[in-house]
Structure 1
Amino acid sequence: MARELIENGTLAVSELATNAYRLAEGLDPCTRTVSPELWIWARSYPHQALVVTVFDGYQTPPPQETGSALWAEHGRGLNIVAAVSSSWGSHPSRARFTSPPVIGKAVWFTLPLPPTWRHRTRIADPRRTAVQLHALLAARGIGGIIRKDARAVSLVSVPCGLNIRVQPTTFTLNDTNGVTIRRPLVDLHDLAELVVQRTEEITP
């Protein structure tokens, strides 16, 4: 990865982490939950990108960019993230490193991966991949998951109404609104995070 991208990523992580810690400092100590968490993984869809996420355990409104100039002393954090990354956003999520997992929000950004990064189409036993997905979701506190295996396909059903078909090369997610989302198997962690996000958005 080019030095400029590494520097941009370092700057963006610093801004998101600072925002998360400032949020914690501004809350009543009795309401503080967990320390911020840093998550990083590569994904191949819709394009090759490094996904960098800072999670905080607070169900506060999603952050917004401000009108502050990039050189301003305060209020510029997300403006900087937007300026140095390919994309950014936030969504409800659950902690990865606490037990039981705390519900909060994930603020993320992406950086392009270099052309030399090439993912190989992963062909795997659907049963084994379904077991991995089940384990990732269970570790995030999602219970009541049902897994059914058949020849060349497995089905993972989440109580909130999400169904994920696992085939030798792809995941296919169908939600209660009839939306269909497909992902390659190499994007296992990205797919698991999407399921956690949808679970929090759907669950009242």
Structure 2
Amino acid sequence: MDISTRLSDGGFPAWPLPLDATCAEFARSIARALCREFRLPRDVTCDVTLIASELATNALLHAYRTTPSGGGRPEMWAYLRRHAGPEIVFKVFDPVVWKGPPRRPPQSPPTDSTGGRGLHLVDALTAEHGGRWGVHPTRGRLGASPALGKAVFFTVPLPVPLAAPVPERAPRLPPVRPRPWSRRRSAERIQALLAARGLRAHLSCDGSLRQERGAWQVWVREEWISYRLLDGEGVRLPASDVIEVVERIVRHTEERATVCSL
């Protein structure tokens, strides 16, 4: 497994999950490596690897193997998010389109069942460490064209406050205030990440982006990024949350498409 870009440097890696019995261990190895990057405690690392394993197994057994061929394959993504406090966001994508609410509480399996408790475990462990989990529609990131499907995500809060000093050898989180020249670069990165998911956007000279059909607009400034949907919902995030902005736009695009198809 190769992690070519550190999350602390703004990376947004994506890995195709193996389609065999090594799927769970591969997901665990990704989770362990990312926990090492931020020097998370051993107990947190153990629980994060267990959650990643459960979600990867579910994506393979209950999503990929039940869909027609050619609908995409399971993927695992990760990135760093800041707006609600620094945290790692893990996402496991599968090619089953999600048409339910953003999160559905797991149903209890029968008392004599030998399985079906994976999401209960995910729910308990994320809550224990102050994180969250959920499900939302999205598009894949790997392959010749982005497959439609859903992402099951969970978050892992980072224990070191942004304002606190860190040891010299410890990884440093991206600065809250990006360099002045990063405004245009951030807008171009948003445009490129959206294009990779099949969403075209027009980039204006003032650093704003607009979907070609006008469903949303994004404004990039030195200290913040904001976007507004066609229905009027607006969100402002720190300038470092480029990836979160992209993920929200993709999610909202698919949510709107689902509503229109009903």
TM-score with structure 2 setting the length: 0.70
* Richer in strand (by share): 1
The code of the aligned residue for 1:36 comes to: P
User: What's 1:37 paired with?
Assistant: 75
Give the drift of 1:26.
Answer: 4.8
Say which of 135, 139, 156 aligns to 2:196. Answer: 139
TM-score with structure 1 setting the length: 0.88
Give the drift of 1:118.
Answer: 4.7
Say which of 169, 176, 179 aligns to 2:230. Answer: 176
Moved more, 162-171 or 115-124: 115-124
Structure 2: distance between partners of 1:70 and 1:130: 52
**SS of structure 1 residue aligned to 2:66:** coil
Structure 2: distance between partners of 1:122 and 1:70: 52
**SS of structure 2 residue aligned to 1:157:** strand
Alignment of 1:121-160 (within 5 A): 121-123=176-178, 124-125=180-181, 126-143=183-200, 145-150=201-206, 154-158=207-211, 159=213
Kept after mapping to 2: 8 A contact 1:37/1:56: yes
Superposed CA RMSD in Å reads: 2.2
Aligned pairs, number: 199
1:177-201 deviation per Cα after TM superposition (whole angstroms, max 9, x unaligned): 2211011121111111111001111
Structure 1: distance between partners of 2:247 and 2:111: 31
Kept after mapping to 2: 8 A contact 1:160/1:199: no
Structure 2: distance between partners of 1:80 and 1:201: 27
Structure 2: distance between partners of 1:13 and 1:122: 31
1:28-68 deviation per Cα after TM superposition (whole angstroms, max 9, x unaligned): 5x445222100011111112111111000111455641224
Structure 2 residue runs of 5 or longer lacking an equivalent are 1-39, 161-165, 167-171
User: What's 2:175 paired with?
Assistant: 120
2:12 counterpart of 1:12: no
Structure 2: distance between partners of 1:18 and 1:173: 35
Kept after mapping to 2: 8 A contact 1:24/1:32: no
